[in-house]
């Protein structure tokens, strides 16, 4: 038992243990808690990403879908979003696509 610091700050009421979010780098934030996808990546997001960063991703995802006209029935579109999600939340893999409105009309796909 090494729980000596537990009652100092534990007042959030969340069932999930506070952690350090790798995206916003805040300490002691509550993780999302429920997996947004039924797979390993979803579990990882539930455990490691804070609620605010997940909300930020959802907003970013919506911009990507709108900007690129993604059809989520399309496997390529889903792969594109997962690649961007990993870059956005975990800074992993290839850099995410940028949404530069000054290039509107030059996006070829
Ligand atoms: Zn965060």
The answer to whether 49 touches 32, Cβ cutoff 8 Å, is yes
Interacting residues of 70 by C-beta distance below 8 A, sequence separation 6+: 64, 77, 80, 81
The answer to whether 81 touches 61, Cβ cutoff 8 Å, is yes
Q: State the distance from the centre of ligand 1 to the C-alpha of 106, rounded, in angstroms.
A: 33
Above 70 in pLDDT, residue 4?
Answer: no
Q: State the distance from the centre of ligand 1 to the C-alpha of 39, rounded, in angstroms.
A: 20
Give the start-to-end residue ranges of the domains of the chain.
Answer: 17-94
Tell me the per-residue pLDDT of 18-47, one tens digit each, with 9 for 90 and over. 899 999 999 999 999 999 999 999 999 999
Query: What topology does CATH give the domain 17-94?
Result: YggX-like (1.10.3880)
Tell me the per-residue pLDDT of 46-93, one tens digit each, with 9 for 90 and over. 999 999 999 999 999 999 999 999 999 999 999 999 999 999 999 998
């Amino acid at each position: 038992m090494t729980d000596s610091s537990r009652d100092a700050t534990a007042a959030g009421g969340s069932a999930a243990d506070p952690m350090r979010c790798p995206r916003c780098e805040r300490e002691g934030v509550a993780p999302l808690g429920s997996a947004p996808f039924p797979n390993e990546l979803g579990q990882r997001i539930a455990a490691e990403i804070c609620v605010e960063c997940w909300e930020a991703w959802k907003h970013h995802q919506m911009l990507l879908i709108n900007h690129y006209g993604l059809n989520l029935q399309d496997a390529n579109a889903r792969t594109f979003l997962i690649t961007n999600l990993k870059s956005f939340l975990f800074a992993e893999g290839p850099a995410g696509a940028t949404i530069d409105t000054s290039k509107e009309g030059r996006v070829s796909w």
